[in-house]
Structure formats: structure tokens, C-alpha cells
Amino acid sequence: MMNRNARIILGALTGAVGLVAMIRLVSGAFSGGVSALAWAFILLAMLPWVGYVAWRASRSPLSGRSAAAVLAFGLVGLLSVWLFTIGPVLALLCSLAAFVVIWVRDWPPRRSRSEERFVRIEELALEDSDPRG
């Protein structure tokens, strides 16, 4: 398991890929540059996302393989956002995929099946009528 600071950095990278992708996506829509209103909406939407992904990653018990997958998605997203026309969309997908890896690793562990067993009502009635008590 990685240390907490490394997980926070991976989470922040994942969120930053989404932020950069969103900026590139919106900046391509305006010929004169991004307006102040567009900047406000981007930052209002994406800065909490960066914080949430970093927080979620800090809680997640990422293994070496999971961390490598998150890092790979982040690097592919950062490269694609600058190299391809459809790069911002690919980078958003990479950011989402990296978040899914973080999120799935944060799920609670499964309970073993031996801990609980479904009981039929007939079995309960037999226990109540058992004279041994």
C-alpha cells in the first residue's frame, strides 16, 4: 500500500487532468479566447472535482498495480489533451477511468459468506418447539 501523500498526489493528478481537459475543450469553442463567465463555470465545476478526487484517493488503499493504472491513465490523458484534436474528450475519459480505479479500490471489503446464513421460518419454528430449550 502506498503512503497517503503519494495517493493524494495521484488523486490531484487525476483531477487536474480533468481540469486541463475541460479548459482545452471550452477554449476550443471560443475563437477570441475563454470568457470570464466560462472561466468561472469551469473553475466552479472542476476545482471541487480535483479536491474530491484527491480526498477519495487519500482514503483509498491503492495497491501498486492500482496506482500504476491511475498514473498511466493520468499520463495518457495529459499527453492526449495536447496532441490530438479529440484529446480533451480522451483526457476526460482517462480522468474518469482513473477515478473509477480509485473509487473501486475504496469499496469496503466483501463479507465472507460464512458469517451469515439465511434461515427458513420452519427452522425457527423447530427451535421454538425444541424441549431442550
| Phi, psi (degrees; rounded to nearest 5) at 3 | -80, 165
125 domain-assigned: no
Q: Is the pLDDT of residue 105 over 70?
A: yes
Task: Report the alpha-carbon distance of residue 72 to residue 53 in Å, rounded.
Answer: 16
Better-scored residue on pLDDT, 106 or 71: 71
Query: Torsion angle, CA of 105/108/113/114, rounded to 10 degrees?
Result: 120
The pTM (predicted TM-score) of the whole model is: 0.74
111 domain-assigned: no
Total number of domains in the chain: 1
- Residue 75's pLDDT band (boundaries 50, 70, 90)? very high
Helix (H, G, I), strand (E, B) or coil at 86: coil
Average pLDDT over residues 101-125: 73
Cell readout for 97 is 477511468
33 domain-assigned: yes
Domain that holds residue 17: 4-105
pLDDT in tens, 33-66: 778 888 899 899 999 999 999 999 998 888 889 9
131 domain-assigned: no
- Residue 122's pLDDT band (boundaries 50, 70, 90)? confident
126 domain-assigned: no
124 domain-assigned: no
Work out the number of other CB atoms within 10 angstroms of the CB of residue 125.
10
pLDDT in tens, 76-87: 999 998 888 888
130 domain-assigned: no
pLDDT of residue 130: 58
Among 12-16, 86-90, 104-108, which is the least confidently predicted range?
A: 104-108
Query: Torsion angle, CA of 89/50/104/8, rounded to 10 degrees?
Result: 130
129 domain-assigned: no
pLDDT in tens, 4-29: 899 999 999 999 999 999 988 888 76
